Structure 1
Amino acid sequence: MKREFKNIVLIGMPGSGKTTIGKMLSDKLNKKLIDIDGCIEKQQGRTISEIFKGGEEYFRNLELKAVEQASEKEDVIISTGGGVIKNKKNILNLRKKGLIIFIDRPLRNIISDLDIMNRPLLKNDIGQIEKVFEDRYHIYKNYCDFFVENIYTIEKVLKDIIKIYNDNM
């Protein structure tokens, strides 16, 4: 049975460009952007870093609820946090109505311009990003419907995503 795609879902490493790309896609396609981390911050009235002080499990439970809510929407762009793939329920929810696109960006590019101070799992050790990359890369590849390399201009990335989306409507 062919899936019907109502949403575009962006997954990928922290610093891969999901939020920036999501905002630009939202403007280009005239679709609402749902940024999962932003939703959690708004709902909790705290930053992700502050929420993480309650523990990763606490944050992941909030994330699961936010993903469930976002997944029920239609005709939206959903930008996820980098760790959304750690819970398969998130992917199952996102997949119900969404075309899942992995924003694949090389680790060296991520490291070169990543603000780690706002990344709870990375702020104590920049070397941690290498471990996170190694642990998650194959999961992103496994869970995505398509992947787009974020190594060219942002305009090329947007064009590639829009083509994939249009070809699969």
Structure 2
Amino acid sequence: MKNIVLIGMPGCGKSEIGKILAQKTEMEFIDVDDFIESSNKLTITQIFKNGEVSFRDIESIAVRELSKKKSVVISTGGGVIKMYENILSLKKNGLIIYINRPIQNIVEDIDVEGRPLLAKDPANVYRLFDERGPLYKKYCDHEVMNISSLDEIVDNILEIYAQTNNLNV
């Protein structure tokens, strides 16, 4: 069984959706940022103090390691798509789902604490969306809009996953 890999903007709902998916499928849930913090015994903000390039290198190592797992739900950090090697690793055994949430909805309720690229100026979310939006679309296997209830979004992803794995829903 392939992994379910969630990509998308910070604040799009990857972690919350991923946890529900994992529960419904009885798969392990892994948040890449949590994994990085645990492995490095530092917060993402602390790691970012060494620069974004340093963080992206650490993130790539984590993605490479996590991509080897089987039948897990992986919630990636919003910038995972910035390094193509991450996408190649994630696609080896994963179905990549882009959680696309309208940018205005993200801006209205995003918690910028713990998000180094947004903490100084939450308006950076628009810049990030312009930069990353095309990459999310380019690298995903399927795009799911986060504009309805979480249950509907999860059911939509489960249907896509079942079709990909030739399962009955």
Partner of 1:84: 80
Normalising by structure 1, what TM-score? Answer: 0.96
- How many Å apart are 1:21 and its aligned residue? 0.7
1:53-64 matches, within 5 Å, as: 53-64=49-60
Partner Cα distance (1:68, 1:147) in 2: 23
- Kindly indicate whether residue 158 of structure 2 is the aligned counterpart of residue 158 of structure 1: no
Distance (Å, rounded) in 1 between the aligned partners of 2:12 and 2:73? 16
Moved over 6 A (4+): none
Show the 5 A alignment for 1:22-61: 22-61=18-57
Q: What is the rounded CA distance, in whole Å, between the counterparts of 1:143 and 1:6 in structure 2? A: 16
Aligned counterpart, 2:119: 123
Which whole-Å CA distance do the structure 2 matches of 1:51 and 1:82 have between them?
A: 16
* Cα shift at 1:16: 0.4
Alignment of 1:75-154 (within 5 A): 75-154=71-150
| 2:132 partner letter | R
CA distance in 2, matches of 1:128, 1:141: 20
SS in 2 for 1:94: helix
- Note the aligned Cα RMSD (angstroms): 0.7
- Alpha-carbon offset, residue 126 of structure 1: 1.4
Partners of 1:27 and 1:112 lie apart in 2 by 28
d(CA) in 1 for partners of 2:17 and 2:113? 21
Q: Give the partner amino acid of 2:120.
A: N
List gaps (5 residues or longer) in structure 2: none
Tell me which residue corresponds to 1:8: 4
Cα displacement string for residues 68-114 of structure 1 (whole angstroms, at most 9, x for unaligned residues): 00100101111100000000000000000000000000001101110
Alpha-carbon distance between aligned partners in 2 of 1:67 and 1:126, rounded to the nearest angstrom:
26
Percent same amino acid at aligned positions? Answer: 48
Q: Distance in 2 between matches of 1:30 and 1:127?
A: 37
- Taking structure 2 as the reference length, the TM-score comes to 0.96
